[in-house]
Structure 1
Amino acid sequence: MSRRAGRRAGRRLRHRLARVTARTPVHAHAGSPALPAALRAPELEPGDRARLLQGAHHDPHALLGAHPVAGGTLIRVLRPLARRVAVRGRALADEGDGLFAAVLPGPLPEPYRLSVTYADGTHLVTDDPYRFLPSLGELDLHLIAQGRHERLWEALGARPMSHQGVRGTRFSVWAPSARGVRVAGDFNHWDPTGFPMRSLGASGVWELFVPGVGPGTRYKYEVLGADGVRTLRADPLARRTELPPATASVVHAGRYTWGDAAWLARRAETPPHAAPMSVYEVHLPSWRPGLSYRELAKELPAYVSRLGFTHVELMPPAEHPYGGSWGYQVTGFYAPTARLGTPDDFKYLVDALHRAGIGVLMDWVPAHFPKDEWALARFDGTPCYEPADPLRAEHPDWGTLEFDYGRPEVRNFLVANALYWCEEYHLDGIRVDAVASMLYLDYSRPEGQWTPNADGGRENWDAVAFLQEMNATLYRHCPGVVTMAEESTAWDGVTRSTDRGGLGFGFKWNMGWMHDTLGYLARDPVHRSWHHREMTFSLVYAYSENYVLPISHDEVVHGKGALVEKMPGDWWRRRATHRAYLGFMWAHPGKQLLFMGQEFAQGAEWSEETGPQWWVLDPAYVAAGDHQGVADLVRDLNARYRETPALWRLDSDPAGFAWVDAEAAADNVFAFLRMAGDGTPPLLAVCNFSPVVRPAYRLGVPGPPGAAWHEVLNTDDRAYGGSGVTQPAPLRAEPVPSHGRPESVAPTLPPLATVWLRPAP
Structure 2
Amino acid sequence: MSGPARLADPLWARLGSHPLPGAPGDPARTVFAVWAPNARAVSVFGDFDGWDGDRHRLHRGPDGIWTTTVPGATVGMRYKYRITGADGVVRDKADPLARATECPPETASVIVGASSYRWHDDAWLARRVQTDLTTAPLSIYEVHLPSWRPGLGYRELAVALGDYLQALGFTHVQLLPITEHPYGGSWGYQVGSYFAPTTRLGTADDFRFFVDHLHTRGLGVLLDWVPAHFPKDDFALGSFDGTPLYEHADPLRREQPDWGTYAFNLGRAEIREFLIASALYWCSQFHLDGLRVDAVAAMLYLDYSRGPGQWQPNARGTHENDEAVDFLRELNDAVHREIPGAVTIAEESSAWPGVTASTADGGLGFDFKWNLGWMNDVLDFVSLPHHRRGCAQAQLVFPLTYAGAEHFVLPLSHDEVVHGKGTLWSRQPEGSDRAAGVRALLAYQWAHPGKQLLFMGQEFGQITEWSDTDGPDWALLEQSEHAGIARVVTDLNRLHRCFPALHGLDGRARGFDWLDALDTTNTVVGFLRLSADPDEPGGTLACVFNFSQRDLHDYRLGLPGPVRNWTEVLNTGAADYGGTGVGNLGAVRTEPIGSHGRSHSARLTLPAESTVFFTPQHGPPQH
TM-score, normalised via structure 2 length: 0.96
CA contact (8 A) 1:185 1:218 kept: yes
CA contact (8 A) 1:145 1:204 kept: no
Higher Cα radius of gyration: 1
Aligned counterpart in structure 1 of residue 35 of structure 2, from 171, 174, 179: 174
2:473 corresponds to 1:613: yes
Deviations 1:586-635 (A, max 9, x none): 000000000000000011010101110112223xxxxx111111111111
**Aligned position for 2:76:** 216
**Aligned position for 1:100:** none
Deviations 1:224-246 (A, max 9, x none): 10011111110001000100000
- Counting only pairs closer than 5 Å after superposition, residues 730-749 of structure 1 correspond to structure 2 as 730-749=587-606
**Aligned position for 1:603:** 463
Aligned counterpart in structure 2 of residue 421 of structure 1, from 257, 282, 307: 282
Deviations 1:116-175 (A, max 9, x none): xxxxxxxxxxxxxxxxxxxxxxxxxxxx23355552111111112358897422111111
**Aligned position for 1:230:** 90
CA contact (8 A) 1:149 1:412 kept: no
CA contact (8 A) 2:6 2:338 kept: no
**Aligned position for 1:40:** none
CA contact (8 A) 2:300 2:320 kept: yes
DSSP 3-state at the match of 1:255: coil
**Aligned position for 1:366:** 227
Aligned counterpart in structure 2 of residue 478 of structure 1, from 316, 333, 339: 339
CA distance in 2, matches of 1:605, 1:521: 17
CA distance in 1, matches of 2:38, 2:170: 48
Aligned counterpart in structure 1 of residue 578 of structure 2, from 712, 721, 725: 721
CA contact (8 A) 2:169 2:493 kept: yes
Question: Which amino acid is 2:462 matched to?
Answer: Q
The alpha-carbon distance between structure 1 residues 194 and 656, as it changes in their structure 2 partners (threshold 3 A), is same
Deviations 1:368-410 (A, max 9, x none): 0000111100000000000111110011111100000000000
CA distance in 1, matches of 2:423, 2:384: 16
CA distance in 2, matches of 1:652, 1:211: 58
CA distance in 2, matches of 1:294, 1:413: 29
CA distance in 2, matches of 1:498, 1:733: 47
Aligned counterpart in structure 2 of residue 672 of structure 1, from 517, 527, 530: 527
Shift of 1:431: 0.5
CA contact (8 A) 2:357 2:365 kept: yes
**Aligned position for 1:264:** 125
Question: Which amino acid is 1:644 matched to?
Answer: F
CA distance in 2, matches of 1:370, 1:518: 31
**Aligned position for 2:559:** 701
DSSP 3-state at the match of 2:252: helix
Shift of 1:663: 1.8
Gaps of 5+ in 2: 619-623
Deviations 1:495-514 (A, max 9, x none): 11001111100000000000
How many residues are treated as equivalent by the alignment?
A: 610
**Aligned position for 1:634:** 489
Question: Which amino acid is 2:282 matched to?
Answer: W
**Aligned position for 1:62:** none
Aligned counterpart in structure 2 of residue 284 of structure 1, from 145, 157, 177: 145
2:461 corresponds to 1:582: no
**Aligned position for 1:350:** 211
CA distance in 1, matches of 2:74, 2:524: 66
Question: Which amino acid is 1:573 matched to?
Answer: D
CA distance in 2, matches of 1:245, 1:297: 25
DSSP 3-state at the match of 2:490: helix
Deviations 1:276-316 (A, max 9, x none): 00000000000001111111122010001110000000000
**Aligned position for 1:692:** 550
Aligned counterpart in structure 1 of residue 387 of structure 2, from 521, 526, 550: 526
Q: CA RMSD in A?
A: 1.3
- Which segment drifts farther, 732-741 or 290-299? 732-741
CA contact (8 A) 2:296 2:346 kept: yes
2:367 corresponds to 1:506: yes
Q: Percent identity?
A: 55
Shift of 1:479: 1.4
TM-score, normalised via structure 1 length: 0.79
- Counting only pairs closer than 5 Å after superposition, residues 248-327 of structure 1 correspond to structure 2 as 248-253=108-113, 254-327=115-188
Question: Which amino acid is 2:548 matched to?
Answer: S
**Aligned position for 1:158:** 17
DSSP 3-state at the match of 2:566: strand
Shift of 1:569: 2.8
Question: Which amino acid is 1:744 matched to?
Answer: S
CA contact (8 A) 2:357 2:406 kept: yes
DSSP 3-state at the match of 2:365: coil
Aligned counterpart in structure 2 of residue 660 of structure 1, from 506, 515, 518: 515
**Aligned position for 2:621:** none
**Aligned position for 1:123:** none
DSSP 3-state at the match of 1:698: strand
2:199 corresponds to 1:199: no
The alpha-carbon distance between structure 1 residues 198 and 713, as it changes in their structure 2 partners (threshold 3 A), is same
Deviations 1:679-728 (A, max 9, x none): 4230000000001111121122223x222100001100111111111221
DSSP 3-state at the match of 1:548: strand
Greater RCO (Cα-Cα under 8 Å, separation 6 or more): 2
CA contact (8 A) 2:564 2:616 kept: yes
CA distance in 2, matches of 1:247, 1:451: 36
DSSP 3-state at the match of 1:344: helix
**Aligned position for 2:327:** 466
CA distance in 2, matches of 1:266, 1:436: 32
**Aligned position for 1:683:** 541
CA distance in 2, matches of 1:217, 1:295: 26
Gaps of 5+ in 1: 1-143, 619-623
Deviations 1:404-454 (A, max 9, x none): 000000010001111110000000001011100000011011100112222
2:500 corresponds to 1:645: yes
Shift of 1:456: 2.0
Aligned counterpart in structure 2 of residue 435 of structure 1, from 296, 299, 303: 296
CA contact (8 A) 2:101 2:107 kept: yes
- Counting only pairs closer than 5 Å after superposition, residues 510-589 of structure 1 correspond to structure 2 as 510-570=371-431, 573-589=433-449
CA contact (8 A) 2:143 2:174 kept: yes
Deviations 1:445-468 (A, max 9, x none): 110011222222211100000000
